[in-house]
Amino acid sequence: MPAVIVIGWRPGLGLMKWENPPLGLFAIPPLIGLISSVIGFQLASEMEIQDKLLSDISPLLLSWASLVIFASLLMFKIPAEWGEPKEMRYGVLAGTIVVFLPQICGMGLLLCALWWIPVICGWVFVSTYQWKYDVQPFRTGLWLGVGGLTGMFMGAWAMSVILSA
C-alpha cells in the first residue's frame, strides 16, 4: 500500500464509499454557492462603495463571506456515518476558505484571476469518481466545500450577466 499523507488518515478507518452516486451531494453544495452569490450581489448593490476596485470586487467577496457562513452552519448537518465528522468539517472549511485564496490574489496577479476555471473543472472531474472509491472524510469535506465554491463562481457569473443586461 503506498504511503498516503492526508489529515488523520488511518488505513481502513473512517473511509466512505457509496453504493450509488449521492445526487443530493452533487446538487446541494453548488446550490448553496448559488444562493450565496445571489445574497452577495444583492448586498453589494445595497452598499454605496466609493472606491472603484472595491466596488467591483465586493459582490464576489460578499458572496464568499456568505458561503463561508452557510458552510459553517450546514457542515454540522453532515451525517456521522459518512466518516469522522471533525475531519469532514476541516475539509469543508479548507474547500471554502483555502481554495478561494488564489482568487483573492487574482486581484493583483493576472493568472490567479482565472482561478475559477480550474476550480470548476476540478470539481466536475472529481465528482465523476468521488462516490466510486473509498475516500477519507477530509477529502469528502474538501469536495463538498469546493462544490460550494463552484456554485458560487457560476452564480457570480450569472448574476453579473443578469445585472449588466
20-73 confidence digits (pLDDT tens): 767 777 888 999 999 999 999 999 888 888 887 777 788 889 999 999 999 999
Q: Is the pTM of this model over 0.95?
A: no
15-29 as b/e: b if 16+ CB within 10 A: bbeeeeeeeebbebb
> Coil, strand, or helix at residue 21?
coil
Closest by CA to 95, choosing from 131, 128, 134, 137, is: 137
Q: Tell whether the model's pLDDT for residue 1 goes beyond 60.
A: no
User: How far is CA 146 from its chain centroid?
Assistant: 3
Q: Tell whether the model's pLDDT for residue 83 goes beyond 70.
A: yes
Mean pLDDT of 92-104: 89
**What pLDDT is stored for residue 36 in this prediction?**
95
**What pLDDT is stored for residue 131 in this prediction?**
73
Counting residues of the chain whose pLDDT is more than 70, the rounded percentage is: 83
Helix axes 85-93, 137-164, angle to 10 degrees: 30
Residues 6+ apart with CB under 8 A from 130: 140, 143
**What pLDDT is stored for residue 7 in this prediction?**
44
Angle ∠(86,144,61) on CA atoms, nearest 5:
105
In sequence order, what are the beta bridge partners of 16?
A: 135
**What pLDDT is stored for residue 48 in this prediction?**
82
Domain boundaries, the chain: 23-164
**What pLDDT is stored for residue 6 in this prediction?**
44
